[in-house]
């Protein structure tokens, strides 16, 4: 179309734009459809490959001390005994009350189907796609679950923070929020922006969502220190309201060297995040909440030449919240002996991280097993119920 736009057209058009925005589900301020369920799910992607053997340390396995030097761990090195066999890294000490209350648990020796190339980027893509291979997959498993339930609105699920969260990308509508969003524009400028961007659906959609979200963020209190804390607070606030799902990332797990120092910082952020979620939600929402934290792969069983660990296979999944069956290290422990390692280097994966995520979500939502095995994680065999949700 080449006709030029007159001022009169524009005025008519901007009026129209105003109306259509007000009528859009993104801007409707009241009367949300009832959320499809009442429980809360938080998915945290631990990017970089968390060393599960250093977080939940199998000090009861005699091979651990032979494989590792500075990273031997165990209660003798300040870790907190969990069950006489595993011990929790000292930097997660603030979570011990949560463990004792049965609201923190672990699943050891799990992985995605990803093998051998040990690339962060592919590993994370597969973790978030939730499929067996990456061929042709464009959406994430959390989004696919949203696609099958009725009553999902634009405020049912949030990705929080600036990172790319493929796990929640897809056809179902999802909101995004990140700290420091701000936009002060005249209403005219907004209308003109609408006009120039409406030929570009992607740009236009992002603009529409950004405006509403920055308005909402204005109601938040003064900024707290640490982006991860801001993110956890925001997620907890939304989950205390109409949101049911939140997903975000915690980075900093790629500990190739001087791991005793580098993993400590990442673990402190994780610990702060979980405690902030708990504190901000309050006990009645916390009681209905399950948090799962997962990583693209574990790391080498052996310490490397620079006090760190390299990319591995079997890893650790963390779950927390009042709805989880915690106080236990779940999973099928393969051992660290000479014949027990994967390719003589990594913790052998004995469980599929997707199956555990599926059981958690089934416990929270009551959706059919077949939904998880066919749609959310196509081709997955969930196996026996590991009893992760109370």
Partner 1 sequence: MRTFNPELAEIRFGYGLSPMVDPPHSLAQMLDGITGPDAVQTTFPIEDFARFRTRMVAAQKQRKIRRDNRGTARAEQARKQRNVLNRQARVAMAGWLGQTLLRRAHTPTAFRERLVAFWADHFTAMGRQGVVRRGTSPYIEDAIRPFIASRFEDLLQSAVMHPLMLDYLDQTRSMGPNSVRAVRRGPDKPSGLNENLAREVLELHTLGVDGPYSQRDVTQLAELFTGLTFNARNGFKFRKDFAEPGAETVLGVSYGAEANLSEIRAVLRDLAAHPATARHLAQKLAVHFTSDTPDPDLIDALEGAYLSHGGALMPLYQTLLEHPASWRTPLSNVKPPIDFISSAGRALGVPTDHFEGRQEKWLRRWVMAPLVRMGQAWERPLGPDGWAEEDTAWITPHSVAERVSWAMSTPQKLTQDLPDPRGFVDAALGGFAGDAVRFAAAAAESRSEAIGIVLMSPAFQRR
Q: List residues near partner 1 by CB under 8 A.
A: 2-5, 7, 10, 69-70, 116-122, 162, 164, 169, 176-178, 180-186, 188-189, 192-193, 195-200, 202-203, 206-207, 209-211, 213-214, 251, 254, 256-257, 303-308, 310-311, 343, 345
Closest contact distance (angstroms) between CB of 13 and partner 1 is 10
- 48/26 Cα distance (integer angstroms): 34
Helix, strand counts (H, E) of the chain? 13, 12
Q: Tell me whether residue 171 or residue 196 sits nearer to partner 1 (CB atom).
A: 196
- 338/336 Cα distance (integer angstroms): 7
Q: Tell me whether residue 194 or residue 352 sits nearer to partner 1 (CB atom).
A: 194
- For 345, the token pair is 């280097």
Closest contact distance (angstroms) between CB of 222 and partner 1 is 19
Q: Which helix (H) or strand (E) holds 204?
A: helix 201-217
DSSP state of 108: E
Other Cβ atoms less than 10 A from the Cβ of 337: the count is 12
**What residues pair up with 317 in beta bridges, in sequence order?**
107
Other Cβ atoms less than 10 A from the Cβ of 16: the count is 12
Q: Tell me whether residue 169 or residue 350 sits nearer to partner 1 (CB atom).
A: 169
Q: Tell me whether residue 80 or residue 132 sits nearer to partner 1 (CB atom).
A: 132
- For 63, the token pair is 């091979």
- Surface-to-core class of residue 358, CB atoms within 10 Å of its CB (0-12 exposed, 13-18 middle, 19+ buried): buried
Closest contact distance (angstroms) between CB of 158 and partner 1 is 11
Q: Tell me whether residue 180 or residue 242 sits nearer to partner 1 (CB atom).
A: 180
Alpha helices in 61-153 (DSSP H): 63-67, 96-100, 120-129, 141-148
Residue whose structure tokens are 């792969």: 297
- 110/55 Cα distance (integer angstroms): 14
Structural contact between residues 103 and 322, judged by C-beta atoms closer than 8 angstroms: yes
Closest contact distance (angstroms) between CB of 164 and partner 1 is 5
- For 81, the token pair is 């005994």
- 245/155 Cα distance (integer angstroms): 9
Q: Tell me whether residue 160 or residue 324 sits nearer to partner 1 (CB atom).
A: 160
Q: Tell me whether residue 121 or residue 338 sits nearer to partner 1 (CB atom).
A: 121
């Amino acid at each position: 179309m080449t006709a030029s736009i007159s001022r009169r057209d524009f005025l008519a058009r901007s009026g129209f734009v105003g109306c259509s925005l007000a009528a859009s589900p993104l801007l409707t301020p009241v009367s949300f459809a009832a959320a499809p369920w009442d429980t809360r799910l938080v998915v945290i992607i631990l990017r970089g490959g968390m060393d599960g053997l250093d977080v939940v340390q199998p000090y009861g396995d005699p091979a651990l001390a032979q494989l590792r030097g500075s990273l031997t761990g165990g209660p003798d090195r300040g870790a907190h005994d969990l069950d006489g066999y595993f011990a929790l890294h000292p930097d997660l000490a603030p979570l011990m009350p949560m463990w004792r209350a049965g609201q923190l648990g672990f699943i050891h020796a799990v992985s995605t189907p990803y093998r051998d190339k040990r690339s962060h980027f592919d590993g994370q893509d597969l973790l978030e796609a939730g499929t067996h291979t990456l061929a042709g997959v464009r959406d994430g498993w959390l989004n696919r679950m949203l696609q099958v339930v009725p009553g999902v609105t634009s405020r049912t699920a949030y990705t929080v923070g600036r990172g790319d969260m493929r796990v929640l990308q897809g056809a179902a509508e999802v909101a995004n929020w990140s700290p420091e969003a701000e936009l002060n524009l005249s209403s005219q400028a907004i209308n003109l922006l609408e006009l120039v961007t409406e030929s570009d659906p992607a740009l236009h959609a992002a603009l529409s969502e950004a405006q509403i979200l920055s308005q909402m963020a204005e109601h938040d209190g003064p900024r707290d220190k640490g982006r991860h804390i801001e993110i956890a607070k925001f997620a907890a606030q939304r989950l205390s309201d109409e949101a049911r799902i939140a997903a975000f990332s915690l980075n900093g797990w790629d500990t190739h060297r001087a791991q005793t120092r580098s993993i400590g910082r990442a673990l402190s952020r994780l610990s702060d995040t979980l405690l902030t979620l708990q504190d901000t939600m309050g006990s009645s929402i916390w009681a209905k909440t399950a948090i799962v934290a997962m990583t693209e792969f574990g790391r080498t069983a052996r310490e490397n030449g620079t006090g760190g660990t390299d990319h591995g296979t079997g890893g650790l999944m963390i779950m927390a919240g009042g709805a989880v069956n915690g106080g236990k290290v779940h999973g099928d422990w393969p051992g660290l002996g000479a014949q027990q390692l994967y390719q003589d280097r990594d913790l052998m994966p004995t469980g599929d991280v997707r199956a555990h995520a599926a059981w958690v979500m089934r416990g929270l939502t009551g959706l059919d097993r077949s939904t998880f095995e066919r749609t959310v994680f196509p081709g997955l065999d969930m196996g026996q119920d590991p009893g992760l949700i109370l």
